[in-house]
Structure 1
Amino acid sequence: MLELTRITAGYDRRDPVVREVSLHIATGEAVGLLGPSGCGKSTLARVAALLHRPDSGTMSLDGTVIRGWRHRAPQEQRTAVGVVFQQPRLSADPRLSLRELIAQPLRATGRRRDVPARVAELAPLVGLSDELLDRRPHAVSDGQLQRACLARALVLRPKLLICDEMTAMLDASTTAALVAVVERYRTETSAALLAVGHDRVLLERWCDRTVRWGDRSARNAPAASG
């Protein structure tokens, strides 16, 4: 489903944060990427989400080699991946209501007619009431906003979901609720999951296997476990 081969990436070619990393995720598989802060996990996740072009290496998604990232990637490839980031307030437009936030990907891909039905379907699934949907980010909690961000990531029915420290800022009950939403979606669609984090217990309970990444001084390919 997702194949990353010898990926090197970063923001300074002289000192990349990801060096020669290879990772495979099969259709329907949940893989946890475990490692300390600053080791390059999020950079690799952004490469996998088509948001950051690697300096070298190859990537294929659902059997197709990726040749463009961000706006240069075909829409079919961009919409095959849904992403939830660690800090919802940095990934949400403060001018939009939660309803509009969830609908963003549909509007961006010309599927405006699908907005009412998909928002109505996803809002109760992630635990958002009609009253909350009409609020803007400043008027809701981090947990409520992250629920909307998860709904946004699911709205186009992606084949691969990437959760980059999705629950790092949430309490235990909200974490459990959002993980349950992801697992229900995966059960219904056979979507693959890449869950990035530093909580070993959570990742090992959530995922089929966990890939452990070394610290920043040993930024080479992670080794699989589990």
Structure 2
Amino acid sequence: MLELRRVTAGYDRRNPVVRGASLSVAPGEAVGLLGPSGCGKSTLARVAALLHRPDSGTFRLDGTVVDRWRHRAPRALRTAVGIVFQQPRLSADPRLRLSDLIAEPLRATGRRDAVPDRVAELADTVGLTPDLLTRRPHEVSDGQLQRACLARALVLRPRWLVCDEMTAMLDASTTAALVTVVEDYRRTTGAGLLTVGHDRVLLERWCDRTLDWATLAQEAPAP
């Protein structure tokens, strides 16, 4: 279970952007978080991905209370969560070819032997041809780069996936393709999904349930 209980978080303790938010995601479940731009949902997504330490509240992941974030978090917890951001060009190292971008987490965790097979497998899964893997971010479209970023998020086979407005900058066909990849992964692995966005129609079609940001503080996590 992924559980956030009464989380307050932000970048200025005197004026947090998230106040007392609670939500839960069960293994294999897809939960959508709906809210307008600037409301704080991306900050909460970063907390769930162990990238941002909250000011207060409790975060449990697979029964373990999380008390360290980013590189200080235990590897077993860090690698349990994959995240895809809204803007791929801000989350991708411009110096890396797409193949190296996908392989980053494998190399960072000492799994270099798995790189060739895993990169080739995921490139095919997300719809990247071999010629695209040799290109750098400035040489591909936003949609192609986001495909690589999704592959990077999946490369360690995470038990939880956080999609922070993953499709906001994509056309309809690329959106459909990437949602299908995520759903296939969720169905075959039993991974839980937290996806945030402002497109109600997309979230309600995609997810098992959708939470409205305006009432999030009243959402009681499952026991």
What TM-score do the two structures reach when normalised by structure 1? 0.96
SS of 1:221's equivalent in the other structure is: helix
In the superposition, relative to structure 1, how do residues 189 and 220 fare at CA in structure 2: closer, same or farther (>3 Å)?
A: closer
* Deviation by residue 1:197-225 (Cα, 9 ceiling, x = unmatched): 000000000000000012xxxx861548x
CA contact (8 A) 1:123 1:129 kept: yes
Question: For residue 173 of structure 2, what is the aligned residue in structure 1?
Answer: 173
Question: For residue 150 of structure 1, what is the aligned residue in structure 2?
Answer: 150
SS of 2:14's equivalent in the other structure is: coil
Question: For residue 131 of structure 2, what is the aligned residue in structure 1?
Answer: 131
Equivalent position amino acid for 1:60 in 2: R
CA contact (8 A) 1:212 1:223 kept: no
CA contact (8 A) 2:22 2:216 kept: no
CA contact (8 A) 2:22 2:219 kept: no
* Deviation by residue 1:131-153 (Cα, 9 ceiling, x = unmatched): 00000000000000000000000
Question: For residue 194 of structure 2, what is the aligned residue in structure 1?
Answer: 194
CA contact (8 A) 2:3 2:59 kept: yes
Equivalent position amino acid for 1:163 in 2: C
Question: For residue 39 of structure 2, what is the aligned residue in structure 1?
Answer: 39
Distance in 2, Cα, partners of 1:132 & 1:72: 34
CA RMSD of aligned residues (A): 1.1
CA contact (8 A) 1:212 1:222 kept: no
Distance in 2, Cα, partners of 1:62 & 1:116: 30
Distance in 2, Cα, partners of 1:203 & 1:66: 27
What TM-score do the two structures reach when normalised by structure 2? 0.97
Distance in 2, Cα, partners of 1:194 & 1:24: 9
Distance in 1, Cα, partners of 2:218 & 2:181: 28
Equivalent position amino acid for 1:135 in 2: R
Equivalent position amino acid for 2:34 in 1: L
Q: Which runs of 4+ in 1 moved over 4 A?
A: none
- Report the alpha carbon displacement of residue 120 of structure 1 after superposing the two structures with TM: 1.0
Distance in 1, Cα, partners of 2:106 & 2:218: 35
Question: For residue 117 of structure 2, what is the aligned residue in structure 1?
Answer: 117
Which of 213, 217, 220 matches 1:221?
A: 217
The count of aligned residue pairs is 220
Distance in 1, Cα, partners of 2:27 & 2:125: 23
Give structure 2 stretches of 5+ with no counterpart.
none
Distance in 2, Cα, partners of 1:181 & 1:22: 28
CA contact (8 A) 2:125 2:181 kept: yes
Question: For residue 24 of structure 1, what is the aligned residue in structure 2?
Answer: 24
* Deviation by residue 1:17-72 (Cα, 9 ceiling, x = unmatched): 00011111111100000000111000000000000000000101011110100011
Question: How much identity, in percent, do the aligned residues show?
Answer: 78
Equivalent position amino acid for 2:126 in 1: V
Distance in 2, Cα, partners of 1:222 & 1:47: 18
- Report the alpha carbon displacement of residue 158 of structure 1 after superposing the two structures with TM: 0.3
* Deviation by residue 1:79-121 (Cα, 9 ceiling, x = unmatched): 0000000000000000000000000000000000000010011
Distance in 2, Cα, partners of 1:43 & 1:63: 22
- Report the alpha carbon displacement of residue 171 of structure 1 after superposing the two structures with TM: 0.2
Distance in 1, Cα, partners of 2:110 & 2:152: 15
SS of 2:20's equivalent in the other structure is: strand
